[in-house]
């Protein structure tokens, strides 16, 4: 195969939302840009496919009102959004397996547990307001909160195990997709701060507000369309040689010589690139302290949204079932009804140990526990398995181990010579969400434009 050689001002590695948000800003500033993407498609963790005749969003999909960078992008690209269906009662399954219908945001647990959950929520909201999303590592309490697991921290705050179990679920199973013993209280605060507050994060009315008609992958697809031939898919980057003056980036089909690079990949995959000279000690270390969570996003499609006839919204929670949360995921103006459910962290390990048929039965049994026996017989059933995706290797995102955020966070986006970093996993506001990916792309592009302007000024 013939290798193509290209000269550019900036090479962007990765055509997820982060890379594709950086590139137009560079083009607007008058720079030549090439985007190299490993996969044969753009969008990274945003991926829409028609499966069994229904459009399914296999990766990220929801947009919330705090995600202003994403909302701005959606508007600029002329995309339409629609509200998630949420009319009717939600369902909760308790520790004894009893199904309870409820309305509002507070789960139907014992009154004293509700009071305790409200107290813990207020405590987390205060910490979030005090610590913020942008530099959690810089807060005086950063080390203290980063050296205790979220599970242990909750146990220190409250002896109500049921309250702790539920609060842990909102950040553990539902967001970082790791068990609450595997990440710190500071990491939990960052996750909540990314959405403005813990209250916002746990409010499904807020955080799971809208979707893009045609799927959220329309965002990266449209950005890539506008960038045209600057985006090269099927070009996994294998090697990055750098000097203070520039980079030579080698992918399977293209070699790009540029003045600056933006690496817009999940941090866990960065060590797969052969950097020459190797990255500094600090980057080698910090990349090893991040790891992906694991979650299976399951779609079950039915000939009609039958749960609505029963007065149910499709929203369901239980820390006691494998499917810890589920929602109505019916498409805009679709006759078919779609449910989406999530199986997270160690539960995902458990069902992945089963064969495919057993797993399907087990997961559908949980949907039936929430929505009745009809849920066990969908016309389409699909599991998104991001853990087997070569160019992602988990879901939803990457987070630090205990102590990692306070120890390394300040350096995670520090450029190394001409190399800059962007990714939702390195974001503050919008951390682990599409919004954070866009923000990190914009920030990296601004840094690159400033650096190129400064070098132009020093030459002239």
- Which CB, 39 or 139, lies closer to ligand FDA? 39
DSSP string, 392-444: T-SSS-EEE-TTHHHHHGGGTT--BTTEEE--GGG-STTTTSHHHHHHHHHHH
The reply on whether position 423 binds ligand FDA by CB under 6 A is yes
- The verdict on whether omega for the bond into residue 318 sits within 30 degrees of 0, i.e. cis, is no
Q: Binder to ligand FDA among 275, 302, 307, 386 (CB under 6 A)?
A: 386
Binding positions for ligand FDA, 295-314, rule CB under 6 A: 297
Nearer residue to ligand FDA within complex by CB, 163 or 429: 429
According to the binding rule CB under 6 A, does residue 432 interact with ligand FDA? yes
Collapse the DSSP code of 236 into the 3-class scheme (helix H, G, I; strand E, B; otherwise coil) and give the result: coil
Kind of pairing, strands 54-57 and 48-51? antiparallel
Among 10, 11, 12, 13, binds ligand FDA (CB under 6 A): 13
Least separation in angstroms between CB 284 and ligand FDA: 17
**Is residue 397 at the binding interface for ligand FDA, with CB under 6 A as the rule?**
yes
- 178 forms part of the interface with ligand FDA (CB under 6 A): no
- Minimum CB distance to ligand FDA, residue 432 (Å): 5
3-state secondary structure (DSSP) of residue 250:
strand
Minimum Å distance from CB 70 to ligand FDA?
Answer: 7
* Pairwise CA distance, residues 343 & 328, whole Å: 16
Identify the CA nearest to 428 among candidates 133, 66, 94: 133
The structure tokens listed for 280 are 């500094």
Instruction: Pick from 9, 22, 37, 160 the residue near ligand FDA by CB under 6 A.
Output: 37
Assess 437 for contact with ligand FDA (CB under 6 A): yes
Report the Cα 113 to chain-centroid distance in Å: 30
In the complex, the smallest distance separating the C-beta of residue 435 from ligand FDA, rounded to whole angstroms, is: 6
Nearer to ligand FDA, 145 or 348 (CB): 348
Contact 387, 395 (CB under 8 A): yes
Helices 68-76 + 218-227 axis angle, to 10: 50
36 binds ligand FDA (CB under 6 A): yes
Question: Is the CB of 162 or the CB of 201 nearer to ligand FDA?
Answer: 201
If one asks whether residue 409 binds ligand FDA (CB under 6 A), the answer comes out as: no
Q: Is 24 in the site for ligand FDA (CB under 6 A)?
A: no
SS3 annotation, 294-334: CEEEEEEEECCCHHHHCCEEEEEECCCCCEEEEEECCCCCC
CB of 267 to ligand FDA, least distance (A): 10
- Residue ranges in 52-81 that form contacts with ligand FDA under rule CB under 6 A: 59-62
CB of 207 to ligand FDA, least distance (A): 8
The answer to whether 46 contacts ligand FDA (rule: CB under 6 A) is: yes
Q: How far is CA 240 from CA 12, 33, 92, 215, in A?
A: 12, 16, 50, 33
Q: Does 133 bind ligand FDA (CB under 6 A)?
A: no
- The whole-angstrom separation of Cα 291 and Cα 271 is 12
Interface region with ligand FDA, contact rule CB under 6 A, candidates 8-16, 138-146, 304-312, 450-458: 8-16
How many angstroms from the chain centroid is the CA of residue 146? Answer: 21
Residue 343, beta-bridge partner list: 296, 323
Residue 320's Cβ-side half-sphere holds a number of Cα atoms within 13 Å equal to 13
Which residues lie closer than 8 Å to 253 by C-beta, 6 or more apart? Answer: 1, 3, 4, 232, 234, 235
Check residue 274 and report its DSSP letter: E
H-helix segments, 85-172: 111-131, 142-146, 150-157, 161-171
Smallest gap from Cβ 303 to ligand FDA, in A, equals 25
In the list 171, 186, 264, 402, the residue contacting ligand FDA (rule: CB under 6 A) is 264
Q: Does 404 bind ligand FDA (CB under 6 A)?
A: no
Select the span of 33-41, 78-86, 142-150, 369-377 touching ligand FDA (CB under 6 A): 33-41
Angle (nearest 5°) at CA 340 between 334 and 342: 170
Residue count, binding to ligand FDA (CB under 6 A): 41
Q: Is residue 329 at the binding interface for ligand FDA, with CB under 6 A as the rule?
A: no
Residue 175 has what DSSP assignment?
Answer: I
Q: Does 293 bind ligand FDA (CB under 6 A)?
A: no
Q: Which of residues 192-251 bind ligand FDA (CB under 6 A)?
A: 236-237
Residue 279 CB, shortest distance to ligand FDA, in Å, is: 14
The token duo for 124 is 């987390």
- Binder among 9, 16, 128, 302 for ligand FDA (CB under 6 A): 16
Asked if residue 381 lies in contact with residue 364, where contact means CB atoms within 8 angstroms, the answer is: yes
Residue numbers at the binding site for ligand FDA (CB under 6 A): 13-19, 36-39, 44-46, 59-62, 236-237, 264-266, 269, 272-273, 297, 384, 386, 391-392, 395-397, 423-424, 432-435, 437
């Amino acid at each position: 195969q013939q290798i193509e050689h290209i000269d550019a001002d900036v090479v962007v590695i990765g055509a997820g939302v982060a890379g594709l948000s950086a590139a137009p800003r560079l083009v607007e500033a008058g720079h030549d840009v090439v985007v190299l993407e490993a996969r044969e498609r753009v969008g990274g963790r945003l991926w829409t496919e028609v499966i069994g005749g229904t459009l399914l969003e296999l990766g990220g999909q929801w947009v919330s009102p705090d995600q202003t960078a994403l909302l701005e992008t959606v508007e600029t690209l002329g995309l339409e959004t629609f509200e998630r269906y949420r009319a009717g009662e939600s369902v909760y399954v308790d520790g004894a397996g009893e199904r309870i219908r409820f309305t509002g945001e507070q789960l139907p647990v014992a009154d004293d547990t509700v009071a305790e959950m409200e107290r813990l929520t207020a405590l987390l909201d205060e910490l979030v307001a005090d610590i913020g999303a942008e530099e959690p590592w810089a807060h005086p309490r950063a080390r203290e909160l980063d050296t205790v697991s979220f599970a242990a921290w909750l146990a220190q705050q409250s002896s109500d195990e049921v309250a702790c179990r539920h609060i842990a679920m909102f950040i553990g199973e539902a967001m970082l997709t790791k068990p609450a013993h595997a990440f710190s209280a500071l990491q939990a605060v960052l996750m909540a701060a990314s959405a403005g507050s813990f209250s916002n994060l746990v409010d499904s009315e807020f955080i799971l507000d809208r979707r893009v008609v045609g799927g959220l992958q329309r965002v990266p697809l449209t950005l890539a369309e506008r960038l045209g031939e600057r985006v090269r898919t099927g070009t996994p980057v294998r090697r990055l040689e750098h000097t203070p003056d520039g980079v030579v980036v080698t992918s399977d089909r293209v070699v790009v010589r540029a003045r600056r690079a933006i690496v817009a990949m999940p941090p866990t995959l960065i060590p797969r690139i052969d950097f020459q000279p190797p990255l500094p000690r600090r980057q080698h270390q910090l990349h090893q302290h991040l790891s992906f969570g694991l979650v299976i996003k399951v779609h079950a499609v039915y000939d009609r949204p039958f749960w609505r006839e029963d007065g149910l919204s499709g929203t369901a929670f239980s820390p006691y079932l494998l499917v810890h949360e589920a929602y109505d995921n019916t498409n805009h103006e679709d006759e078919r009804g779609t449910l989406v459910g999530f199986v997270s962290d160690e539960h995902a390990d458990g069902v992945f140990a089963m064969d495919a048929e057993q797993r399907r039965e087990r997961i559908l049994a949980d949907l039936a526990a929430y929505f009745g026996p009809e849920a066990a017989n969908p016309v389409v059933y699909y599991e998104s398995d991001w853990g087997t995706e070569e160019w992602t290797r988990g879901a939803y995102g990457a987070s630090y181990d205990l102590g990692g955020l306070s120890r390394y966070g300040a350096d995670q986006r520090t450029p190394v010579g001409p190399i800059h970093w962007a990714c939702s996993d390195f974001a503050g506001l919008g951390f682990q969400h599409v919004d954070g990916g866009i923000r990190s792309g914009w920030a990296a592009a601004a840094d690159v434009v400033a650096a190129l302007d400064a070098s132009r000024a020093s030459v002239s």
